[in-house]
Amino acid sequence: MKKSNTDSPPKSPRKKRKASGEEKQSEKQENTNEKDHQQARRKEYRRERKMIATQSERRQRQKCQRQKRGL
């Protein structure tokens, strides 16, 4: 019978400390700050993409209206 991989201990030193409860408060704070920063970047990226899509949509409508007037 094959042993499952879930029983193996974490490989990285930080994960080992975290698993044993020895993770430092500064590491926890650093991890939280990193997650917050990544979330903020994703939020900004989504905001920019939405703005670009809105501008593109507006240009398309204006172009369509100009074509209708030209007919």
Give the model confidence (pLDDT) of 23-53 as tens digits: 688 888 898 999 999 999 999 999 999 999 9
The per-residue pLDDT for 68 is 86
Domain contains 56: yes
Both structure tokens of 13: 């030193």
Would you state the pLDDT for residue 15? 75
What is the total count of domains within the chain?
1
Q: In which residue are the tokens 């100009």 written?
A: 66
Is 45 contained in some domain?
Answer: yes
Environment class of 22 (CB within 10 Å of its CB; exposed 0-12, middle 13-18, buried 19+): exposed
12: in domain: no
Q: What is the pLDDT of residue 49?
A: 97
- pLDDT digit string (tens) for 2-26? 555 666 765 777 777 777 776 688 8
Tell me, yes or no, whether 65 lies in a domain: yes
Chain centroid to Cα 68, Å, comes to 42
User: Is 61 among the domain residues?
Assistant: yes
Statement: the pTM of the whole predicted model exceeds 0.75: no
